[in-house]
Structure 1
Amino acid sequence: MNRTTLSLFAGTAALAAVTAFAAAAPPPASGAVPRAAARLPVERTSLVCPAPSGSDLAETTYTSFTPVTKGAASGGGARLQAAGVQDAGGGKGKKAGKPVLTPKAPGSPATGDTSGGDAPALVGTADGSLAPGWTVQETTEVSAGTGRGLLGVACAGADTDFWFPGASTAAGRTDYVHLTNPDDSAAVVDIELYGKDGAIKAPLGENLTVDPGTSDAILLPTLTEERQAGLTVHVSVRGGRVGAAVQALDDKAGGDWLAPAAEPAGSLVLPGIPKDATDVRLIAFTPGDDDADLKIRLASPDGLITPAGNETVHVKAGMTASVGLGDVTRGEPGSLVLTPADQAVPVVAALQVERGKGDKRETAFIPATAAVGTRATAAGNGAKDTTLALTAPGGTATVKVTASAGSEGGTPATKTYTIKSGTTQDVDAPVPTGLKGTYALTVEPVSGGPVHASRTLTGAGTAFTVQTLPTDHGLVSVPQTEEDLSIVQK
């Protein structure tokens, strides 16, 4: 039997199947309104966590949490385990067989810990009931040395494009770009640097290969001889996917993780500057061909105000702008809101924030972040070391916040808050009754305008770390489909 005959039989069978289905379920009448896409729980989530620290004094805790999601699949599981380590010759280290943690069920945090400077990057996957909104927090305490203090990062999914305003190659800073490839094929990556005068030559950052299932940490000063503070790092993936984060370590001012900034946009929100911040610096970059002029406003507890002497910032195309805002919050919590002064030009931005003074300074970063959306979660909270900041830049919003059960015991608790338009509030977040261990906070807007959020953890002295709370991607839009007989007539 030749291919023409097979194709004819296949087409006839397809037509018969479609016709039979149409007879059983006739299409809607002409002019009927199409059904909206359904929002359904995701069935699989993958995350990567960067290697936490090179310090022998590092103590790291991982906390995993999945919110209970209506309609989620039953069963499933989740696990975090070590990625391989890529050496200078492109070789791959061994994977640890034992998972760092293994979550049991939605609604209950799971924890794991490690110590020392040899802890690897982690790769994790959750499916079934544990997939929708799966969140993992990596928190590290370093008691002394470069980058001492509290370092925190929310483990994130792999992607192909990342922006990091706020990195540095200046003396006194030791910044690494961590790249982790969770997939079964190699990823090819370019690292581009942009300073105050534009693109910086960094040929060693081109065409980097990250082997399957491995992680690599690239020291920024090895890519260029330029020594500048306030750089923008662009990680662009030519092939494959990676997870990416920048570890920024300072000899005198502690350090933290710099998470990727929100995608370039004309208006940006950088939420949750601590009320006791002693110094705040804005770093912004526009990747396009047009300059950007931005209005700078602070969303305070009483509304939007313009910082005296820093009403606007001019960002030249392809160049990084840096603006010192000092102690802009003046003892009150706040969020920075950037909007176009004229035409909207896409920009990326982050804040470098310090607490304390002199040799007791500590540093954290707040990248611009998307609104919470349907839901966002922050894991790894303690009863007395957590501050939740909520801001509603464009309209009053009602927000529900739920504290999960504790990792070792406790009963969930929920509170609802109203955030007035243009304000930031450090809310009195709920704590589980009878808390033992750590817990998670889940933020869900109920009504009103968009809400942006961040969570601050504090440690000994002035040590702190800030994580923003964009959507947890627990739900995905699934389009409604209808049969269409016209396709077999073409």
Structure 2
Amino acid sequence: MKQRAPLTLAAVTAALAAVTGIASLTAPAAPAADGKKTAAARMPVERSTLVCPAPSSSDIADTAYTSYTPGAAPGAKAEAKGTGKGAARLTGATKEAKAVLEPKEPGKPVGATSSGSEAPALTGTAEGALAPGWTVQQTTKVAVGRARGVLGTACGVPGTDFWFPAVGTSKGREDYVHLTNPDDTAAEVDVKLFGPEGPVKAEPGRDRITIAPKSSQRLLLSTLAPDTQLADVTAHVTTRSGRIGASVQVAEDGVGTDWLAPSTDPAGSLVLPGIPSDATSVRLVAFAPGEEDADLSIRLAGPGGSLSPAGSEALHLKAGMTASVDLKDVTRGEAGSLLLAPTDAKKAVPVVAALRVVRGSGAKQELGFIPASGPVGARATVADNRTGENATVLYVTAPGKADAKVRVTASPGTEGGEPESKEIQVKAGTTLAVSPPPAPSGGKGSYALTLETLSGGPVHASRTLTLPHEGVPMFTVQPFTDDRSTVLVPKAVQDLSVPTE
């Protein structure tokens, strides 16, 4: 064996000088100097980025933006360095980059408005105390016209992979995917469609788009394959380089309009929370992106327990093909959540799914979407809730075998007031509709609702915001998902040892 040259005193001295005083990051359970293991600390995130799509192409659109940071994150051991003070700014995704919202402190929502078709897509960053759990809601109302209705979306975290079941390319549908690049480098994006027969062949060059830095584009999905008209399609948006925010704006002749948010990542079991009690039509659209077929059981978790919809107890998904089930008025006057699970627990195939929900009838219909969403987790927030009869309804579901306890906290309003909290119990396998949910005492304006899982669960939730207009039940549904306001930070320890071999 070849021997190493012996270390000289000078070399040892230089090595010690290089490492003295430097804290090296170790694994979360690395042994400390005393032989005991040290755990990673859960700390507040120090920076959050959000992206909002351009709200509407209608000249009579009215849009409200609401920004809110809940404050101290649950489970955080201590404030991370630099989180004592904070800053946040939401600006247009344009070269001019004019500020739309600049919240100043956590615990107080801030609102802004815009009108017309010129409002741009927005990008924003929150730092320090304003970063953990930062939430921005965009709500647009279009009173009349072909695309009349209420469109609501929580501004999203930029990423590289998005699934959108329940889009369409049929006559009478105008579905635009909005792609926004928040960064200083270009993003190259692929958009693929999958119908009931599998992949939809796109016109050459149309399914790949380059999004310039700090800019946004929208793509009419039906132009990808002009000769193919399909009612139920799954869109898959991925990036070859860079990251983007992605949302789909759906407009359906004679029915209504809304945003379709991405489904949660493919999983063997899914929860689609918060079908309104007065839904007149509910259609499930699902897709298995892998190479295996999926067999799913369909159950509705209502206020009294879970049951299988008559005639729609199961769904077979062929790999790579979109399938749909017309559940009609499945809720029958009681709010509920749809639960999808593998019929064979030993063969869980990852799937994505979303619900197309219609309220009203005839010329008074309105359209909304409920994508499969993840659990509330430690904490989740939805902004822009409003007081008034049935304006905001909160739906909380415990899909598993354990009861759950949740704390619901209403923030102050955008025009003042004091926060209010309430703890609620949700029985296993049920959905609880909370109407009205807690609201701030005193003050006016819209407010945020924050959910915290206290025990049991997991818990899934959504809220419906209803803004009626001339007899049309205009509404939008937003799910609550874990705000990822904390992160595990490995323990830093001093390591002055010098390797000799």
Contact 1:204 1:223 (8 Å CA) reproduced: no
Q: Which string of whole-angstrom CA distances, capped at 9 and with x for unpartnered residues, describes residues 361-398 of structure 1?
A: 11100000010111000100111211111000112100
Contact 2:15 2:498 (8 Å CA) reproduced: no
Deviation at 1:232, TM superposition (A): 0.2
Give the alignment partner of residue 468 of structure 1, picking from 456, 474, 479. Answer: 479
Aligned equivalents of 1:48, 1:81: Cα separation in 2 = 10
Contact 1:161 1:236 (8 Å CA) reproduced: yes
Deviation at 1:207, TM superposition (A): 3.0
Aligned equivalents of 1:95, 1:215: Cα separation in 2 = 13
Give the alignment partner of residue 79 of structure 1, picking from 83, 86, 89. Answer: 89
Aligned residue in 2 for 1:478: 489
Give structure 2 stretches of 5+ with no counterpart: 1-8, 24-30
Counterpart AA for 1:64: S
Give the alignment partner of residue 432 of structure 2, picking from 422, 425, 431. Answer: 425
Q: Which string of whole-angstrom CA distances, capped at 9 and with x for unpartnered residues, describes residues 318-339 of structure 1?
A: 0000100011111111000000
Aligned with 1:318: secondary structure? coil
| Mapped pair 1:212 → 2:243 | no
Aligned residue in 2 for 1:378: 382
Aligned with 2:222: secondary structure? helix
| Mapped pair 1:193 → 2:193 | yes
Aligned equivalents of 1:310, 1:329: Cα separation in 2 = 13
Contact 1:190 1:205 (8 Å CA) reproduced: no
Give the alignment partner of residue 328 of structure 2, picking from 316, 326, 329. Answer: 326
Q: Describe how 1:324-403 pairs up with structure 2 within 5 A.
A: 324-342=326-344, 343-384=347-388, 385-394=391-400, 395-403=402-410
Instruction: Using the TM superposition, name which of 117-126 and 65-74 deviates more.
Output: 65-74
Contact 1:106 1:129 (8 Å CA) reproduced: yes
Aligned equivalents of 1:144, 1:20: Cα separation in 2 = 67
Give the alignment partner of residue 69 of structure 1, picking from 69, 72, 75. Answer: 72
Change (3 A) 1:486 1:369: farther
Give the alignment partner of residue 230 of structure 2, picking from 228, 231, 235. Answer: 228
| Mapped pair 1:38 → 2:41 | yes
Q: Which string of whole-angstrom CA distances, capped at 9 and with x for unpartnered residues, describes residues 142-189 of structure 1?
A: 011222111000001110000000101110010000000000000000
Aligned equivalents of 2:191, 2:125: Cα separation in 1 = 27
Aligned with 2:129: secondary structure? helix
Aligned equivalents of 1:310, 1:119: Cα separation in 2 = 42
Aligned equivalents of 2:417, 2:458: Cα separation in 1 = 31
Contact 2:158 2:245 (8 Å CA) reproduced: yes
Aligned with 2:452: secondary structure? strand
Q: Which string of whole-angstrom CA distances, capped at 9 and with x for unpartnered residues, describes residues 437-486 of structure 1?
A: 11100000001121001011001131000001111121111122445567
Instruction: Using the TM superposition, name which of 359-368 and 65-74 deviates more.
Output: 65-74
Contact 1:179 1:215 (8 Å CA) reproduced: yes
Contact 2:86 2:105 (8 Å CA) reproduced: no
Give structure 1 stretches of 5+ with no counterpart: 1-7, 85-93
Q: Describe how 1:3-402 pairs up with structure 2 within 5 A.
A: 13-16=14-17, 18=19, 27-30=32-35, 32=36, 34-69=37-72, 71-72=78-79, 73-84=83-94, 94-97=95-98, 99-202=99-202, 203-225=204-226, 226-342=228-344, 343-384=347-388, 385-394=391-400, 395-402=402-409
Instruction: Using the TM superposition, name which of 420-429 and 290-299 deviates more.
Output: 420-429
Contact 2:354 2:370 (8 Å CA) reproduced: yes
Q: Which string of whole-angstrom CA distances, capped at 9 and with x for unpartnered residues, describes residues 213-271 of structure 1?
A: 00001111111121101100000101000000000111111010000100000000000
Aligned equivalents of 2:184, 2:20: Cα separation in 1 = 42
Contact 1:145 1:251 (8 Å CA) reproduced: no
Q: Which string of whole-angstrom CA distances, capped at 9 and with x for unpartnered residues, describes residues 58-108 of structure 1?
A: 000000000011544111211111112xxxxxxxxx4243x1121121111
Contact 2:111 2:414 (8 Å CA) reproduced: yes
Instruction: Give the count of matched residue pairs.
Output: 470
Q: TM-score, normalised by structure 2?
A: 0.90
Aligned equivalents of 1:333, 1:77: Cα separation in 2 = 39
Identity of aligned residues (%): 58
Aligned equivalents of 2:290, 2:12: Cα separation in 1 = 49
Aligned residue in 2 for 1:88: none
Aligned equivalents of 1:260, 1:21: Cα separation in 2 = 43
